[in-house]
Amino acid sequence: MFQSISWSQYFLVLLVATLLYYVLVWIIFFNAKIPALSGLANFRSPPLHGEDEPDEMLSTVQHIMDELRPVFTSTNKNELLYSLQQHLQKYRDWEVNGFRELLNEFIAKESNHKCSIRLDVDDLREVWTG
């Protein structure tokens, strides 16, 4: 039986199987949006570390961080605080444990490293209250 299979056929089957495997991994774990495979795209992988935390919060925090990166070009503290208030006003009412703490840590680090502006707890509170 194995004598009837050529090496080119073997490598072709191996290549197709590998491609299918990686496409399925990409769809399942990265929630890729392929219209023809929308049923598989909605499949959620089990949470890591046994946590039941919603991935929505982490992806939203990452999105907000990416949105805030261009803000840290100002060297004036008042301008920086005003710009942060404007960007964060749509997220003020979002009450999820750890949401503001993660963003406050990011804001404090970025303002210190990129703008050389140290923001204290009152400044960070002002960013959220406006």
Ordered by start, the domain boundaries in the chain are 2-45, 50-129
pLDDT score of 31: 65
Residue 49 has pLDDT above 50, yes or no: no
Q: Which two tokens stand for residue 50?
A: 């046994």
Confidence of residue 2 (pLDDT cuts 50, 70, 90): confident
Q: In angstroms, rounded to a whole number, what is the distance separating the alpha carbons of residues 4 and 96?
A: 62
Nearest partner of 129 among 93, 83, 99, 75, judged by Cα? 93
Confidence of residue 93 (pLDDT cuts 50, 70, 90): confident
Compute the average pLDDT of residues 77-104. 85
pLDDT score of 15: 96
Overall pTM surpassing 0.85 (yes/no): no
